[in-house]
Amino acid sequence: MENWSLFSLCVLLGLTSRWAVSFHSYSGAGKPPMFGDYEAQRHWQEVTYNLPVHEWYFNTTNNDLNYWGLDYPPLTAYHSLVCAYVAKLLNPEWVELHASRGYESHSHKLFMRATVLFTDILIYIPAVLLYCFYFCDGSSKQKVATALCILLYPGLILIDYGHFQYNSVSLGLALWGILGLGLGWDLFGSLAFTLALNYKQMELYHSLPFFCYLLGKCIKQGLTGRGFFQLAKISLTVLVTFALCWMPFLSDPKQPLQVLHRLFPFGRGLFEDKVANTWCSLNVLIKIKTLLSRETQLFLSFALTLLFILPSSLKLLSKPNLWQFKLALVNSSLAFFLFSFQVHEKSILLAALLMFFLFVFFHSMLPLLVKDGLLLPYVVTSLAFLFLSLYLLSHLTRTNEPLFWYFPFHFWFSLVAMAVLSFTSVWLEPPAKFPDLFPVLVSILSFLHFLGFIIYFNLVQLMEPQRKKSQKKTN
């Protein structure tokens, strides 16, 4: 069968799973007064449509920042504005200032879900297809299989189409950035990544590798000659993109500061909710949140993040090739996730560009998904993804060993542990003394995995072994 038909079948399967998951509940469904992320997105449409630009990030009588105030960069706001225009056409009640708070209806849900699907088809899916087509090694069958596995990754599907977010936009743009760099179109890549950064500040997790790679490349070309020109062009592209995105906010110096204040809420504390990162796990043993002062916490997290990210970035700077770049991306995002300030579970999506280990990441989101009423899609998609990726993996690699021996013992152990935890989280009642026992256990287990991964991947990057293509799910 021809490639185009196989790829289109993968896309259609991905789209079907996405839409089928969207039938289920979303974050905060039917839970006044705050509801959840779904209501946040709807509220942003309301705010951006009805209020002038300079009021979007400020606390005014019309804009109560405590009720889901905008805390993403301007591109998200513009996106919400566009959606709001469409919403106004379909049903003005959806974006009525103040009156539409907590608006929930079947047709509105369809509209919101459709906006996610639209941007997914526009940005993320083409990026994935191009990536698999141009940057995956192996036969065309392997490329198709990779595309299928990426498209069926449950984490993104459930967060975007279940919980409700637009991660596919920022991840898609970042992927376009990676594509650009890989194809040698540095300017395009920088442009795409800057846009991604202006969509969600979480993309900062990936920014250091991008920076180091481009800088390293320019240095290699000679800082006095072509390299300097290249560096200048890239910097110009980035600056111009930033300027364009932030243009409405540049008139008054107070504006950008306020926006930054919203984007990086250092006032909020080291962590919220149960997240699989260091601080949350450490908190179980030592109550750091209360022990250390806010400034110390900030400093500590900054220092540790930098510490963990430095080796990988330096290596990339010295050896700017694509393989190093990919590894650096993983390491950088893992480092940020594990050690930085105010991390949310969903941030792990950024490190999740690697296929194989995604499953652990996905499992770490279990408490969130259960809270949203997404248990059934979680079970189905994770089983399907696990099965599919294992099956395809075992069939497409050049080995005749039975599947069981192919993966190390701790892989199976982890799987079992995760399955047991999933089961107990849902069906058993936690003891009265520790009501949050299961979410915490999930977080700790995932944290331990992530710690293992970051050490492993740092070792891989720093020691630069020969390319093990069959095992590494190239991404």
Partner 1 sequence: TVMAAPVTNDQSWFFALALGVSFLKCLLINAYHSTDFEVHRNWLALTHSLPAAQWYYEATSEWTLDYPPLFAWFEYGLSHIARFFDKEMLVVQNLNYASPATILFQRLSVIVADVVFFYAVKECCKSLREDKGKDLLGKPSFILTVLLLWNFGLLIVDHIHFQYNGFLFGVLLLSIARHFQNRHFEGALLFSILLNLKHIYLYIAPAYGIYLLRCFCFTQSNDNIWSRYNYLKIWNLRRFIDKFYSSLFIKGQLPQVLSRLFPFKRGLCHAYWAPNIWALYNIADKAFSILGVKFKLLDINKLPKASMTGGLVQEFQHSVLPSVSPLATLVCTVLSILPALFRIWHRPNGARGFLRCLVICALGSFMFGWHVHEKAILMAILPLSLLAVESREDARIFLILSITGHYSLFPLLFTTQELPIKIFLMLLFTIFSLTSLKTLFRKGGALLNPLEATYLLGLIPLELICEFVYPLTVWQKTFPFLPLMLTSVYCALGVTYAFIRLYISLLTCSDSTKKIKTQ
Residue closer to partner 1 by CB (options 112, 196) is: 112
In 3D, which of 152, 156, 141 has the Cα closest to residue 386? Answer: 152
Interaction of residue 21 with partner 1, rule CB under 8 A? yes
DSSP state of 430: P
The stretch near partner 1 (CB under 8 A) out of 15-23, 181-189, 213-221, 311-319 is: 15-23
Q: Which of 230, 241, 297, 381 binds partner 1 (CB under 8 A)?
A: 381
Amino acid identity at 449: H
Tokens of 199: 């969509």
Which of 66, 224, 253, 398 contacts partner 1 by CB under 8 A?
Answer: 398
Measured from the CB atom, the residue of 396 and 460 that comes closer to partner 1 is 396
d(CA 273, CA 279): 11
Closest to 63 (Cα-Cα) out of 72, 74, 52: 52
CA distance 159 to 169: 13
Q: Residue 8 or residue 251: which is nearer to partner 1 going by CB?
A: 8
**Element containing residue 156 per DSSP (H, E):** helix 154-157
Structure tokens at 235: 């910097």
* Binder of partner 1 out of 60, 107, 235, 251 (CB under 8 A): 107
Say how far residue 258 (Cα) sits from the centre of its chain.
24
Task: Answer for the pair 161, 22: CB distance below 8 angstroms, yes or no.
Answer: yes
DSSP assigned state of 51: S
Find the binder of partner 1 among 187, 380, 415, 462 (CB under 8 A): 380
Q: Is 399 in the site for partner 1 (CB under 8 A)?
A: yes
| Of residues 23-52, those binding partner 1 (CB under 8 A) | 23-24
Side chain identity, residue 211:
F
With respect to partner 1, which residue has the nearer C-beta, 118 or 434?
A: 118
Using the rule CB under 8 A, is 387 a contact of partner 1? yes
Give the C-alpha distances (Å, rounded to integers) separating 32 from 26, 27, 54, 66, 208.
13, 12, 29, 15, 40
386 near partner 1, judged by CB under 8 A: no
Phi-psi region of 424 (alpha: psi -120 to 50; beta: other; left: phi over 0): alpha
* 377 binds partner 1, rule: CB under 8 A: yes
Among 8, 105, 235, 251, binds partner 1 (CB under 8 A): 8
- Min separation Cβ 4 and partner 1, Å: 9
| Selected binder of partner 1 within 91, 237, 397, 424 (CB under 8 A) | 397
Closer to partner 1 by CB, 302 or 391: give it: 391
- The distance of closest approach from Cβ of residue 395 to partner 1 in the complex, given in angstroms and rounded to an integer, is 5
Interaction mask 131-160, partner 1, x per CB under 8 A: --------xxx-------------------
Q: Would the CA dihedral through 244, 248, 250, 256 be positive or negative?
A: negative
Q: Which is nearer to partner 1, 304 or 396 (CB)?
A: 396
Looking at residues 235 to 264 of the shown chain, list those that interact with partner 1 (rule: CB under 8 A): none
Collapsing DSSP states into helix, strand and coil, what is residue 464?
A: coil
What is the closest distance, in whole angstroms, from the C-beta atom of residue 132 to partner 1 in the complex?
16
**C-alpha–C-alpha distance, residues 307 and 305, integer Å:** 5
Cα gap 152→11, rounded to integer Å: 9
- Which value, to the nearest 10 degrees, does the dihedral of the CA atoms of residues 407, 412, 418, 421 take? 180
* Rounded least distance, CB 473 to partner 1, Å: 16
Query: To the nearest whole angstrom, how small is the minimum distance from the Cβ of residue 406 to partner 1?
Result: 12
Q: Name the minimum Å distance from CB 21 to partner 1.
A: 7
Total of chain residues touching partner 1, rule CB under 8 A? 39
The minimum distance between CB 51 and partner 1, in angstroms, equals 31
Q: Quickly list DSSP for 327-354.
A: HHHHHHHHHHHHHSSSB-GGGHHHHTTS
Residue 383 near partner 1 by CB under 8 A: yes
**Residues in 114-133 that interact with partner 1 by CB under 8 A:** 117
Find the shortest distance in angstroms from Cβ 410 to partner 1.
Answer: 25
| Residues constituting the chain | 475
Query: What is the nearest approach in angstroms of partner 1 to the Cβ of residue 19?
Result: 5
Calculate helix-pair angle for 74-90, 226-246, nearest 10 degrees: 40
Supply the minimum distance, in Å, between the C-beta of residue 233 and partner 1.
Answer: 41
Contact present, 127 and 172 (Cβ < 8 Å): yes
Residue 183, CB half-sphere, CA atoms under 13 Å: how many?
17
Q: Is 90 in the site for partner 1 (CB under 8 A)?
A: no
Q: How far apart are CA 209 and CA 227, in angstroms?
A: 18
5 belongs to the binding site for partner 1 (CB under 8 A) = yes
Q: Footprint of partner 1 on this chain (CB under 8 A)?
A: 1-2, 5-6, 8-9, 12-13, 15-17, 19-21, 23-24, 106-107, 110, 117, 139-141, 376-377, 380-381, 383-384, 387-388, 391, 394-400
